[in-house]
Amino acid sequence: MRVEDLTDFFKVRRLAGNPWEVVRFRKGQRKGDLLHVRMHDGHPLFVRGGCADYHMFHRIFLRDEYRVNRATPGSWSWVVDLGANVGMFAARAARLARNVVACEPIAVNFAQLTKNVEGRAGVTPLKVAVAGEPGTLKIFRPEAQSNRTGSFSAFKAPDAALTDDYEEVPATTLDALFEEHGIDRCDLLKIDIEGAEYDVLHAASEATFAKVQRIHGEYHDVRPEDPRTRIEAFLRFLRDKGFQLEIEPHRRKPNFGMFFGARPDAV
């Protein structure tokens, strides 16, 4: 047994009643398999084999990639999850916030999202993309043999393993989303939308930004000809909105990594 497996076992044991089954699934999973993670909160998570579901579970629950472990359960009012995928982060955020809006436009992921948040109080799944402008958006699908089911994107980066096949999805804006749901204080805006983060945030109004206390997400290397998509400019933009920032750059990919922003008085 690897040390990493033992470490994961103890982490999963704090979360679920079947830790060995969960840890073994990572290596033994095949397409068509389905793992039921028996979470201690009484709401199971469903992890499909042969795709990115386990990777998402591991990133969010075991690695705390979005840095929410220090938040006091139930202390937040609203969390907005852009790029909710199969609902792993929305399920995690449901313990922290009274209201979670989880936006995921891709049909196959949205179906899994609804299963993973079923019965979780305050979670609203929406089959919609959040973009720079309302309307429709073309989201390209990963290659058939790819397990990168978290990589649906409107941007065909060279290493994205995307096809020319796409799903046309409805799109809204961050301003409209906040107005529709009456969000007056967003304790966390989580954003992982494969390159659309620049358009979404640059299109948001000052009034919407003023409601956001924290913004955690992933930044991507798309449209290098657009200076707004370079991380240095992106950080300046967010600092001008009043956020203190930290980034975790990818070790090998340029202009790619995680960013974490918070207002100085965020509690």
pLDDT in tens, 199-211: 999 999 999 999 9
Residue 228 DSSP symbol: G
Integer-rounded Cα radius of gyration of the chain: 18
Which residues, in sequence order, are bridge partners of residue 78? 99
Alpha helices in the chain (DSSP H): 3-15, 19-28, 53-57, 88-93, 107-117, 174-181, 197-203, 206-211, 231-240
219 with 129: CB under 8 angstroms? no
Please tell me the pTM assigned to this model.
0.94
pLDDT in tens, 141-159: 887 645 666 678 778 665 5
202 with 191: CB under 8 angstroms? no
pLDDT in tens, 18-65: 999 999 999 889 989 999 999 999 999 999 999 999 999 999 999 999
Spatial CB neighbours of 221, under 8 Å, sequence gap ≥ 6: 157, 195, 229, 253, 254, 255, 256
pLDDT in tens, 230-262: 999 999 999 999 999 999 999 999 999 999 999
- Ordered domains of the chain (ranges, CATH): 1-63 (no CATH), 71-128+182-262 (3.40.50.150)
Q: Give the C-alpha separation, 61 to 26, whole Å.
A: 14
Q: Give the C-alpha separation, 127 to 111, whole Å.
A: 9
Q: How remote is the C-alpha of 183 from its chain's centroid?
A: 19
53 with 112: CB under 8 angstroms? yes
